[in-house]
Amino acid sequence: MDDEHESRWTIQKSADQYQIRGWGHPYFTINEAGHVQVVPDPERPQHGIDLFELVNDLDARGLELPLLLRFSDVLKDRIKRINECFNKAIAEYDYKGVYRGVFPTKVNQQKHFIEEVVEFGAPWRVGLEAGSKPELLIALAAEQEPGGLVVCNGYKDQKYIETALLAQRFDKTVIVVLERIEELEFTLRAFKKTGIRPCIGVRAKLGAKGVGRWADSVGDRAKFGLTTSEIVEVVDKLAEREMLDCLQLLHYHAGSQLSSIISVKNAIREAANIYVELAKMGTNMKYLDVGGGLAVDYDGSKSDFHASKNYNIQEYAYDIVAAIAEACTKAEIAHPTIVTESGRAIAAHQSVLVFEIVGKNEVRFGTPQDPGPKAHKVLRQLYETYQGIQPKNLQEAFHDASQNKEEADSLFKFGYLTLRERAQAEKLFWACCERILEAAKKLKRVPDEVIQLEQMMAAIYYGNFSVFQSIPDSWAIDQLFPIMPIHRLDEEPTVKATLADLTCDSDGKVDRFIDIEDVKHVLPVHTFREEQRYYMGIFLNGAYQEILGDLHNLFGDTNAVHVRLDAEGGYELGHFVKGDEIREVLSYVEYEPGVMIERVRRQAERARRQGLITFDQVKLLMKHYEDSLGSYTYLTADE
């Protein structure tokens, strides 16, 4: 292979660089134009949408970035996929029960989203799970298929339970899951008051240890769930009142993002046995609800790393169906309806946040000037270090440069260096670092310190978005999301950067990115040019992020739009949800725009009377002030 050929950048190299084949399959790829291509319906792979062109089209229509794109067909495919996997497992294991998924509302309560879950879930009779009173109200208002399942979890009061019982009179199957022993009393009282026999479930605290970040969701000290003795107490109390027939469901939740199939298997084995025991106690058990936890492969590594998972949906379904079948068949108990509450695995893939890079801060020094023989000793030393840098002495050179730099800082502190000299030392130091990094590219094994240097020297790319609003879990729990440019992928990304958002919070940044192993601290990006727009995408962010997002620095909800494939393979825009205006976020914190305008106008008038400001200046100020109130909270293009 000749040199030129070898060095030519290709979209395949970009695909490797950003690991899109791992996490993106089958919905995201790179097309010939070097743009991210969305394949919303994997059964129609020929109908792709060029993400870059889509964003440009939307921008031309006035839908400003940052923009959250929801691909409805991806959601539909996720729902279909999980149902088909369970149905396949049920057929192969000759399982006698059925599978009924419920969507946990807390993962994304947006109205249009929940409506799509209900719409796409209809052929599979997908139900809803509520974890609070407001979510119960959402679930009850949903236009589900007749008999639609509603599973009521979370902390409950008397009204919650009474509402749930009354709703059993609708054409819905509403099950109240006891998460705390106190809820049994509430339920019995609600029965007395309404005369409606409750359909009861119990949430078990499993002994099996969870793994990973949500390991605490299980075990005896878990926040929710009944211990074995409490479950027995429920059975006894129901038996006393001749209400054993009311107990129909066993639920557990082993934690979210279960990266290892071992924890899935351990949990279901234990739960299946509890189920069998409950059935033997004369209850009316019909449902085994295995909760959520089905993980998403955010880094595409197919491993048990916390950002990944070492199993696929089919294996998950096989293991659950097999364990329940085995335990029930052995005990000669009817196979239950299997319920799962997968949230992340259904919601994550369908949305993409696209934002624009608006600026950069890059440390580039190039060849430094010789400070000359009369310069301070420390400057001459730094320059010598610079000149002596070679691939075989990188570590030593880095130590020398760092030592010289420290010395320069301390000399300045005690008054022996001028500000100008200190600046010169700083430049020489960074020039050394730059040269060391450059030389390190030729090495097979790079010393650890030099790897850290890469991070220190990384450019900062400023994005028109808020980490706190759009990927709060990146900040709160160091969750990793795949992030990459959505165009120029036929061009080598020669810059290593971290990302900073618009908030003035130093935590408003992303400096942990997916990697083949573990995490990397810089993201390869393309050179940023002022005159050319540069778009980045944050992928797989459809679960939890929207509702956990907050108004830090008063950056509000982003614009969001639903995109659906049409019959011809083009796309049509569904709901457009306009992001917050400044006026709206101000009103969340109790400000009244009218009063604010009035106060600013009064100050402007005063300044004008004192001759400090002209009429035209007042006019311009008031126009900006009033226009801003009605504008997007993010940066917008000049008109």
Ligand X SMILES: *Cc1c(COP(=O)(O)O)cnc(C)c1O
Binding site for ligand X (CB under 6 A): 104, 106-107, 131, 153, 253, 256-257, 291-294, 341-344, 543
Q: Which is nearer to ligand X, 178 or 378 (CB)?
A: 178
Q: Which is nearer to ligand X, 128 or 397 (CB)?
A: 128
Tokens linked to 271: 């739960």
Minimum Å gap between C-beta 344 and ligand X is 4
Which residue's structure tokens are 């106190």? 182
DSSP 201: E
Reduced to 3 states (helix: H, G, I; strand: E, B; else coil), residue 243 is coil
Minimum Å gap between C-beta 379 and ligand X is 57
Minimum Å gap between C-beta 177 and ligand X is 8
C-alpha 556: how far from chain center = 17
Q: Which is nearer to ligand X, 155 or 591 (CB)?
A: 155
C-alpha 18: how far from chain center = 17
Minimum Å gap between C-beta 214 and ligand X is 8
Q: Which is nearer to ligand X, 31 or 545 (CB)?
A: 545
CB contact at 8 A, 320 and 268: yes
Minimum Å gap between C-beta 103 and ligand X is 9
Minimum Å gap between C-beta 231 and ligand X is 17
DSSP 373: T
H or E stretch at 436 = helix 419-440
Q: Shortest Cβ contact with ligand X: which residue?
A: 292
CA distance 194 to 240: 20
Q: Which is nearer to ligand X, 471 or 497 (CB)?
A: 471
CA distance 76 to 563: 12
Minimum Å gap between C-beta 291 and ligand X is 4
Minimum Å gap between C-beta 343 and ligand X is 3
Nearest to 450 by CA among 464, 468, 432: 432
User: Per 3-state DSSP, what percentage of the chain is helix, strand, and coil (rounded to 5)?
Assistant: 45, 15, 40
Which residue's structure tokens are 């090495």? 443
Q: Which is nearer to ligand X, 174 or 417 (CB)?
A: 174
C-alpha separations of 342 from 28, 55, 109, 317, 460 in Å: 22, 30, 14, 12, 37
Minimum Å gap between C-beta 316 and ligand X is 11
Tokens linked to 487: 């165009």
Sign of the CA dihedral running 221, 227, 229, 230: positive
Residue type, 199: C
Dihedral over alpha carbons 339, 345, 351, 355 (to 10 degrees): 150
Minimum Å gap between C-beta 543 and ligand X is 6
Q: Taking the chain, what is the end-to-end CA distance rounded to the nearest angstrom?
A: 51
Pairing of strands 99-104, 127-130: parallel
Q: Which is nearer to ligand X, 251 or 496 (CB)?
A: 251
Q: Which is nearer to ligand X, 108 or 464 (CB)?
A: 108
Minimum Å gap between C-beta 342 and ligand X is 4
DSSP 92-116: HTT--S-EEEEEEGGG---HHHHHH
Q: Which is nearer to ligand X, 86 or 461 (CB)?
A: 86
The total number of residues written for the chain in this structure: 639
Reduced to 3 states (helix: H, G, I; strand: E, B; else coil), residue 499 is strand
Sign of the CA dihedral running 411, 414, 416, 419: positive
Minimum Å gap between C-beta 539 and ligand X is 17
Q: Which is nearer to ligand X, 55 or 313 (CB)?
A: 313
C-alpha separations of 311 from 259, 402, 423 in Å: 8, 46, 54
CA distance 289 to 166: 22
Q: Which is nearer to ligand X, 335 or 344 (CB)?
A: 344
Q: Which is nearer to ligand X, 386 or 544 (CB)?
A: 544
